[in-house]
Amino acid sequence: MAGGGSAIRGSRVGAGPMGEADRGEAAPRTRVSYWCKHGHESKPSFAVDAEVPAEWDCVRCGYPAGLDKDSPPEPPIVVPYKTHLAYVKERRTDKEAKAILDEALVARKEERKRRRRRR
């Protein structure tokens, strides 16, 4: 016996054909080659009347890519995140840091002594 079900399985009510007729004609396109420092070629397509950007991100490595294969743009310089301690070490020498620490420890000990006397 044949199983029951809808003949238009996987489709919604009111769904029509998809394609050029529903969306209109596609704009004429052109492909442009961009080259990164690693020699990768990216070929995005643009509308013929669109302004083509001078740089594009490489789809393989993410480096900037340019229109000239012989002289692609340089990759950006990435500066690593600095911790608070790294910034402090830029401003202070080890000798200055030790002096500040010793001063803070002396002040802390004096504060503890004063609190004990109050009790």
pLDDT digits (tens, 9 = 90+) for 47-105: 999 999 999 999 999 999 999 999 999 998 988 899 998 898 899 999 998 999 999 99
Prediction pTM value: 0.52
Strand order in the sheet with 64-66: 41-42, 34-35, 64-66, 55-57
- In the three-class reduction of DSSP (H, G, I as helix; E, B as strand; rest coil), residue 30 is classed as strand
The ranges assigned to domains in the chain are 27-66, 84-118
**Separation between Cα atoms, residue 79 and residue 76, nearest integer Å:** 9
Class of the 27-66 domain? mainly beta
- On the question of pLDDT at 117 being above 80, the answer is yes
